[in-house]
A and B are shown apart, each in its own frame.
Chain A
């Protein structure tokens, strides 16, 4: 959903290098964590399928008066496969998207940072809502997605505002004001995506609860049922 739809040539070389270096550091950290926990091949296959699904969803634009927006289910991916593999999925989706002109090649780094924030916040916010606060699947999914996508929309404004558009004489504040209009639209779409994700999570919780196994409420946290006393 939150995605920098800028093509190559929009950012100056300096900011392009900065954002891509930050993205490389983040993806490097994610790869190191994956190496440490020795990911089984089956999880790689599942992550690849998630990337293919996200890429497919990514390409369908919902037209709005101000510009096109799209859903991407990155918080859902984070909830299902975790932030480390989710970071890999985000990078791969951005590479394929750049190959067909959905965001520039130079934007793979900045867009991956945005996507990694979405999968990480989606995962931890869902965990907090579901495991700690014991909310239902729907509300946990809705809350985690809406929160992650709101933060990432503001991050997009920050990245574009700080980097500025080459050739423009607008100040950083003016650029950010321009971008805030799109951010408002993205946040509204994020809430709609939150509703859809909430229902998807509730649906998955019913038909494939094993996919949400790592977000299961610990059994000892459940109040034990009172022993029934037989009359007579």
Chain B
């Protein structure tokens, strides 16, 4: 599978592709258009919803979806650390600045820092929403075969975008290894990324070599592809059928749920959200 990843918390695309190509669960067999619609649904849902209980309900649905795909729980928990890190680091300041009842207070030489209930609430809501969408998104990525992604990319995106998107997907594995080598080179010179800034000349040379290698590889691949008739479009080999009746029913249910929660937010509870 993978030679090595940067770390355990960064999802490795090779791992994702492995699960997508080898799995045979009910979610793997689900129509990719239906799965794409579920991502859109989850994004719209968390954008419209403010209530933490509804967000938790979506997270539970996302986890059930993940389990139904027969994917290892340990993997998703490791990969959750990145969105958790982002949400906590960005909403950290809201813990102290959001007006509300003070839960705990710290006195630092006259400077009083208080954590408010409203601040904690914002952080929790953002966290649950983030985990729900990331879980749905990674489940779809880990259950959809590459050939279907090619078909969908050319149906959704303009030609140039689809081509760059798919070529990037292919090149990602090589560059991931190259970049792991760069990090190894830094560590072997007793430098991490933080120390690296101080010894920037040496490490810039390493990054520079990385770029030169990337360009040289791209030129070689390009020549090989052009010799085989590449003119800017990648071939779409597999056709993708429309969603089944069950798929349409699921999409209709999702639209209905969005309609209900939107009505609840904008016409019953809070009209000034926009």
A interface with B by C-beta (< 8 Å): 5-14, 16, 27, 31, 34-35, 39, 41-42, 44-53, 55-57, 59-63, 66-68, 73, 76, 80, 88-89, 91-93, 95-96, 98-106, 165-170, 174, 178, 181-182, 192, 195-200, 203-204, 207-208, 211
B24 on the interface (CB 8 Å rule)? no
Query: Which of B25-33, B63-71, B157-165, B243-251 forms part of the interface with chain A?
Result: B157-165
Complex: how many Å from CA A35 to CA B232?
12
Inter-chain contacts of B164 with A (CB < 8 A): 44, 47-48, 51, 88-89, 92
Inter-chain contacts of A195 with B (CB < 8 A): 197, 200, 204
Interface contacts (Cβ under 8 Å), in number, total 252
Chain B, 147-200, CB within 8 A of any chain A CB? 158, 160-161, 163-165, 167-172, 174-176, 178-179, 183, 193-194, 197, 200
Inter-chain contacts of A14 with B (CB < 8 A): 274
Is A204 a contact partner of B211 (Cβ separation < 8 A)?
Answer: yes
Is A53 a contact partner of B175 (Cβ separation < 8 A)?
Answer: yes
For residue B192, which residue of chain A has the nearest CB?
A62
Provide 28 A-B residue pairs closer than 8 Å at the C-beta atoms, listed in order of the A residue: A7-B126, A8-B130, A9-B125, A13-B273, A41-B225, A48-B164, A49-B167, A49-B171, A49-B175, A50-B214, A52-B214, A53-B211, A55-B172, A56-B6, A59-B10, A62-B193, A67-B89, A67-B90, A73-B207, A92-B164, A100-B134, A101-B83, A101-B134, A106-B47, A169-B118, A178-B93, A197-B204, A200-B207
Give min CB distance, A51 to chain B, whole Å: 4
For residue B89, which residue of chain A has the nearest CB?
A67
Complex: how many Å from CA A99 to CA B133?
9
Can you list the 6 inter-chain pairs with the closest CB atoms, starting with the nearest? A67-B89, A199-B204, A7-B130, A48-B167, A9-B129, A203-B208
Given contacts A7-B126, A59-B10, A88-B164, contact A45 B178 (CB under 8 A): no
Is A105 a contact partner of B121 (Cβ separation < 8 A)?
Answer: no
Is B46 a contact partner of A9 (Cβ separation < 8 A)?
Answer: yes
Q: Mark B64-93, 1 if CB is under 8 A from A, else 0.
A: 000000000000000110110111011111
What count of chain B residues pass the 8 Å CB interface test? Answer: 88
B205 on the interface (CB 8 Å rule)? yes
Chain B, 90-123, CB within 8 A of any chain A CB? 90-94, 97-99, 118, 121-122
Interface of B is mostly: helix
Is A200 a contact partner of B167 (Cβ separation < 8 A)?
Answer: no
Is B79 a contact partner of A8 (Cβ separation < 8 A)?
Answer: no
B56 on the interface (CB 8 Å rule)? no
B137 on the interface (CB 8 Å rule)? yes
Give min CB distance, A110 to chain B, whole Å: 13
Inter-chain contacts of B39 with A (CB < 8 A): 105
**Interface contacts beyond A56-B175, A203-B208: sample of 18 additional A-B pairs, CB < 8 Å, sorted by A:** A8-B42, A8-B133, A11-B47, A41-B231, A45-B218, A48-B170, A51-B171, A52-B175, A53-B210, A60-B183, A73-B207, A96-B172, A100-B138, A105-B43, A169-B98, A169-B99, A199-B204, A204-B211
